[in-house]
Amino acid sequence: MSGPNSRISTLARRAVLGLFLAGAGLMAASPATAASPAEAFVQANVQKGLTILNNKTASTEQRRGEFESFILGLTDMKRIAKFTLGQYRRTATPEQQDAFAAAFQTYATAVYQSYFSKYSGQTLRVTGSQDHGPGDTIVTTQMIDPNDHSGQQPLEVDFRVLSDNGKFVVIDFAVAGIWLAIEERDQFSSFLGQNNGDIGTLISHLHELAKSYR
């Protein structure tokens, strides 16, 4: 299982950058520049994540706990987990789906907590948004590294934001054009394909990965 392990671990590192920027990452454009409620949502939560990260009076465990609560409040983790099961969700029992959703949440938050500090000091600038459907918006941003003077184009990070009765949640994000939930679905499907579609094996694997990141 070294192949799937490596691919999922690599994906985790990419996911950290994307979701960390969505929720922890960091200063955005001023509120006056927000052109839509979805943009304002991303903007406000970016600043909230920055406040958590920069709270030097809190212990590491306290910051991690606050960050985990923040991430879970920002995203629809259960919805993302269902999506990443792909075709295997159709044959999974409700109990298996619930167990996978719990394992996915543990795995995802462990990864984000492990790596979030590596991106402190970065900034995120909201550059616009586009409607993807009713209540479905793609918010476009750029990652700004204040220490990068190379003149290279900033990394683009996009967020897919859904509005449900006025409540916004992030359901996917793209780093340099790669949508993470879609890639996770492909990676998990590949893993399951090599393990006889055994969702229990994937659940166990995600738990082991979560332990390695904590």
Q: pLDDT tens across 104-140, in order? A: 998 888 776 665 556 566 777 899 999 988 999 999 9
- Are 14 and 112 spatial neighbours (Cβ–Cβ below 8 Å)? no
Largest CA distance in the chain: 53
d(CA 192, CA 204): 12
- Would the pLDDT of 144 be above 50? yes
For the ranges 54-58, 82-86, 168-172, 178-182, the lowest mean pLDDT is seen at 54-58
- Would the pLDDT of 22 be above 60? no
pTM for this entry? 0.77
- Are 23 and 75 spatial neighbours (Cβ–Cβ below 8 Å)? yes
d(CA 151, CA 146): 11
- Give the CATH number of domain 2-213; options: 3.30.590.10, 1.10.600.10, 3.10.450.710, 3.40.50.970: 3.10.450.710
The mean predicted confidence, pLDDT, of the chain is 81
Q: What is the pLDDT of residue 170?
A: 92
d(CA 106, CA 104): 5
φ, ψ at 169 (rounded to 5°)? -140, 150
185-214 pLDDT, tens digit each? 999 999 999 999 999 999 999 999 888 876
For the ranges 21-25, 35-39, 128-132, 138-142, the lowest mean pLDDT is seen at 21-25
- Are 174 and 157 spatial neighbours (Cβ–Cβ below 8 Å)? yes
